[in-house]
């Protein structure tokens, strides 16, 4: 019988803002956010807890954040410094286990099953790791400790900031039963509202649904709901996490009024993508070309086609198709590719047009 897994999910507290406050102590105690400027339709990447007290949060438009908190100190992101801090933190993790799966610059899973340090206690290891991050990197981190990845990630948010929470194997059932359905992987606002309308507010409520009923209502995602609401997650911590896609996107200061303007903007976007693609040095072949469009009314669409070597003509055709769906002015364009997947690859959830955002 295999040993019960011991998984730690470490998550730095308001990472980008924390690095800024570390490097400029005068920012401490003041509401601080990292993000784009309001006049360029920027969004907040992360903010500290002083800013959150005003209702500011990541992914909020900067204009909205400044209205909620006029005294907000807004800083442009400095990814070189954030990456340097992230490398320091990763080095600390690998002192404890080679099984480290980074999710972004500021969070990672660690599988410490069978690790002898700290008398084999995952909770003590998490405490030691967090203390080292504070001493060596100058910021704080929170941690969740549990028998699987799903529960560890939820638990890391339980005692934020600068805290940790453990869910022991014997406590998994009760812990998960009380969780709101919105805590389940893959359940966003729309699905959460749909589940609540169907009478499932907590994972305990959802357990009354059979696998057949969930599959009929939610398709293949129903099987995942059936497992997760029971706290079942068999995914392993994988140090070599596979990139599923690569992309770039731009939000324009002034809406692109028509298709012609979108076409004119495309070459610059493709040039930026090609520079990023060269830096990525991805060995797997490209499988699809993708275009993302967000219209002025904030509706968005994604169009893709099979293409092993997309060029400007391929992306332009996708742009034409996507723009025709709404025919409105455009505030954001993105171009990217999806890579071919090996049959044995485990699906991993990486947003094609996502960005690192510290919670």
Task: Express each pLDDT in 118-166 by its tens digit.
Answer: 999 999 999 999 999 999 999 999 999 999 999 999 999 999 999 999 9
Please give the CATH number for the structural domain made up of 16-78.
3.40.1170.60
Residues 223-275: pLDDT tens digits? 999 999 999 999 999 987 677 888 999 888 889 999 999 999 999 999 989 98
Are 61 and 42 in contact by the 8 Å Cβ rule? The answer is yes
pLDDT at 343: 43
Is the pTM higher than 0.95? no
CB atoms within 10 A of CB 156: 26
In terms of CATH architecture, what is 7-13+80-168? 2-Layer Sandwich (3.30)
Confidence band, pLDDT 50/70/90 cuts, at residue 346:
very low
pLDDT at 358: 34
pLDDT value at position 155?
97
Question: Taking the CB of residue 341, how many other CB atoms lie within 10 A of it?
Answer: 13
Catalytically annotated residue among 20, 50, 101, 107: 107
Which sequence spans correspond to the domains of the chain?
7-13+80-168, 16-78, 173-228, 245-339
106 is in an annotated binding site: yes
Specify the CATH number for 173-228; select among 3.90.1300.10, 3.40.640.10, 1.10.760.10, 1.10.150.20.
1.10.150.20
Q: What is the mean pLDDT of residues 102-112?
A: 94
* CATH 3.30.420.40 is held by the domain 245-339: no
Q: Which residues contact 171 (CB under 8 A, 6 or more apart)?
A: none
Report residue 127 CA to chain centroid gap. 24
- What pLDDT score was predicted for residue 138? 97
3-state secondary structure (DSSP) of residue 143? strand
Rounded distance between C-alpha atoms, residue 56 and residue 339, angstroms: 36
Give the list of residues 6+ apart from residue 37 with CB closer than 8 angstroms, or none: 62, 74, 76
Q: Give the model confidence (pLDDT) of 181-238 as tens digits.
A: 999 988 888 888 999 999 999 999 999 999 999 999 988 889 999 999 999 999 999 9
Q: What is the mean pLDDT of residues 292-312?
A: 91
CA gap 72, 86 in Å, rounded: 25
Percentage of the chain exceeding pLDDT 70: 94
Q: Report residue 237 as tokens.
A: 């911590």
Question: Which pLDDT belongs to residue 241?
Answer: 67
Q: Residues 56-65: what's their mean pLDDT?
A: 93
pLDDT of residue 316: 95
* Known catalytic membership, residue 136: no
Q: Position of tokens 């979108």? A: 262
Residues 6+ apart with CB under 8 A from 281: none
Mean pLDDT of 165-180: 96
Mean pLDDT of the chain: 90
pLDDT confidence of residue 201 = 94
Confidence at residue 349, expressed as pLDDT on a 0 to 100 scale:
37
């Amino acid at each position: 019988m295999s040993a019960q897994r011991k998984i730690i999910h470490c998550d730095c507290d308001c990472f980008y803002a924390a690095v800024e406050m570390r490097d400029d102590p005068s920012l401490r105690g003041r509401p601080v956010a990292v993000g784009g400027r309001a006049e360029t339709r920027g969004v907040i990447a992360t903010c500290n807890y002083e800013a959150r007290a005003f209702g500011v949060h990541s992914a909020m438009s900067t204009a909205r954040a400044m209205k909620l908190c006029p005294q907000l100190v807004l800083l442009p992101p400095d990814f070189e410094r954030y990456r340097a801090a992230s490398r320091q933190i990763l080095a600390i993790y690998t002192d404890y286990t080679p099984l480290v799966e980074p999710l972004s610059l500021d969070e990672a899973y660690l599988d410490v099953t069978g690790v002898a340090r700290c008398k084999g206690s995952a909770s003590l290891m998490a405490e030691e790791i967090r203390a080292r991050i504070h001493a060596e990197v100058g910021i704080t981190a929170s941690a969740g400790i549990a028998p699987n990845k799903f529960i560890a990630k939820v638990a890391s948010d339980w005692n934020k900031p600068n805290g940790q929470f453990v869910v022991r194997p014997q406590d998994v059932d009760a812990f998960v039963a009380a969780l709101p359905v919105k805590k389940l992987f893959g359940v966003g606002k729309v699905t959460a509202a749909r589940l609540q309308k169907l009478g499932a507010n907590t994972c305990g409520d959802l357990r009354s649904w059979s696998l057949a009923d969930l599959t009929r209502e939610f398709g293949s995602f129903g099987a995942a709901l059936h497992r997760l609401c029971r706290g079942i997650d068999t995914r392993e911590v994988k140090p070599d996490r596979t990139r599923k896609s690569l992309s770039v996107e731009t939000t324009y200061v002034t809406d692109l009024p028509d298709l012609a303007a979108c076409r004119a903007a495309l070459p610059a976007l493709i040039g930026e993508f090609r520079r990023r693609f060269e830096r990525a040095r991805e060995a797997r072949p490209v499988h699809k070309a993708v275009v993302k469009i967000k219209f002025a009314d904030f509706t968005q669409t994604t169009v893709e086609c099979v293409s092993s070597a997309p060029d400007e003509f391929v992306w332009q055709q996708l742009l034409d198709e996507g723009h025709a769906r709404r025919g409105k002015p455009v505030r954001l364009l993105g171009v990217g590719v999806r890579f071919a997947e090996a049959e044995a690859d485990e699906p991993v959830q990486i947003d094609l047009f996502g960005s690192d955002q510290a919670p």
